[in-house]
Amino acid sequence: MRLRLISLYCSTTEDDTGEDEQRLLVNGVQVWGAEAPGLNNRETADLSAVPLIDFNTRARVELLDSDSGDDDDLLGRFYVGRSQAGQGELEYKFTEDDADYTLTYEVLA
């Protein structure tokens, strides 16, 4: 199985002032991290340059906001699995900690 990341849209940041410093992890490994400045409200990151991610039965996907000197804020977590293969582009909303992000992705066989 392979996971293809397409885009990450920020509707509302977790931080009250300015952009978040987002990091996307798959099975605990960072696969994407925004360079300064990070995403702000109503901005989209193109994730098409992220290589396809191989996984066996399922993969854990997490979005975090990096905080300097603090623990990172978990904005959400979900699992992709083989049952999603062949369904085309899918979306998942990360809404923890008052954030609102939408990840567009695809699971390939």
Lowest-confidence region among 7-16, 61-70, 77-86, 91-100: 61-70
Mean pLDDT in residue range 93-109: 96
Helix (H, G, I), strand (E, B), or coil: what is residue 14? coil
Residue-averaged pLDDT of the chain? 92
Q: Could you give the percent of the chain with pLDDT greater than 70?
A: 92
Ramachandran sector of residue 33 (left: φ over 0; alpha: ψ -120 to 50; beta: rest): beta
CATH number of 2-102: 2.60.40.150
pLDDT of the residue at 34: 62
pLDDT of the residue at 38: 82
What pLDDT, in 10s, does the model give residues 3-43? 999 999 999 998 776 788 899 999 999 999 966 568 889 99
Phi, psi at residue 47, to the nearest 5°?
Answer: -105, 15
CB 91 within 8 A of CB 103: yes
Helix (H, G, I), strand (E, B), or coil: what is residue 8? strand
**Residue bearing tokens 């199985």:** 1
Q: HSE (CB half, 13 Å, CA atoms) of 80?
A: 31
